[in-house]
Amino acid sequence: MSPMKYSAMLELIRQNKPLVHHITNYVTVNDCANITLCIGASPVMSYAWEEVEEMVGHAGALVLNIGTLDPYQAKSMLLAGHAANKFDIPVIVDPVGTGATRYRTDFMSRLVAEIRISVIKGNAGEIGMLAGADAHVRGVDSGDVKGDLRGIAQDFALKTGITTVISGPTDIVSDGSRVITVENGHPMMGRISGTGCMLTSIIASFAAVQRDMAEASTASLAAFGIAGELAAANTSGFGSFKTALFDYLSLLTPAELARDAKIRIL
């Protein structure tokens, strides 16, 4: 995968400003909207049963995030997901807290069974639970996972046909045939709420312009990670870091993305 592919994707986002339809959690909804704007796409946050199917038809990608799942939102996600499949629009799922409760876990199983998902992005515990690995989740935080994470991601992607992203100190992407690692980022990104949700929005923005979901996910991880590195190098506290994260992502150039991406294809 040539570094120039990453820069071309970022340029396409900035030129086309694709609409990214979110059904996401209320803790981070504003952060997700703003990070989508920072990467160059256009966010819409629409939940109403009466309009989600129509709204999806205008979008380049759909985000489903179960962080604050309730029955109303669950129905909205199913309606929107089926509409996205009908219109051949990528569906990007964030299985926040899967494994913490039966309700979340059962709903995620239903999503995987009923909706053609393009990318699923979660932490090691969430993906491990979905993959049937020996994993533990506490609340919305990742717990212990036994086994090789690269193998877990690849096996799950191969079994389901869903490009699988495991976020962590080293991010892992697999579409079942390829396994890719991304080593951009900074520990500060895990110390503020919402960075996982924001990453899902960025993946959706790239997926709206790049139909190879593994490449779109890889470019997203690198772009967000580079912004995190720059933010951490130029701030000292959590509040200023978060503001700088938005700033540096919005200022990231295609050339910087190609130059600074730390990507390995295994």
Q: Rounded CA gap, 57 and 168, in Å?
A: 33
Q: What is the pLDDT of residue 146?
A: 62
pLDDT at site 2: 72
Report the C-alpha gap between 71 and 259 in whole angstroms: 45
The two three-digit tokens of residue 48, written as one number? 């109403």
Quick check: 257 and 219 in contact, CB under 8 A? yes
Choose among 97, 99, 25, 90: nearest CA to 62.
90
What is residue 38's predicted lDDT score, i.e. its pLDDT? 98
What's the one-letter identity of residue 219? A
Amino acid in position 108: M
DSSP string of 74-96?
Answer: HHHHHHHHHHHHHHT--EEEE-T
Grouped pLDDT means (10 residues each) for the chain, 266 residues: 85 98 96 98 97 97 96 97 98 93 93 97 91 61 69 95 96 97 95 94 98 97 98 94 97 96 93
User: What pTM was computed for the model?
Assistant: 0.95
CATH assignment at residue 259: 3.40.1190.20
Tokens representing 80 are 């929107």
DSSP label at 101?
B
Cα–Cα distance measured from residue 125 to residue 262, given in angstroms and rounded to the nearest whole number: 24
Residues 6+ apart with CB under 8 A from 101: none
- Residue 129 is predicted with a pLDDT of 86
Domain with 214 in it:
3-265
- What is the total count of domains within the chain? 1
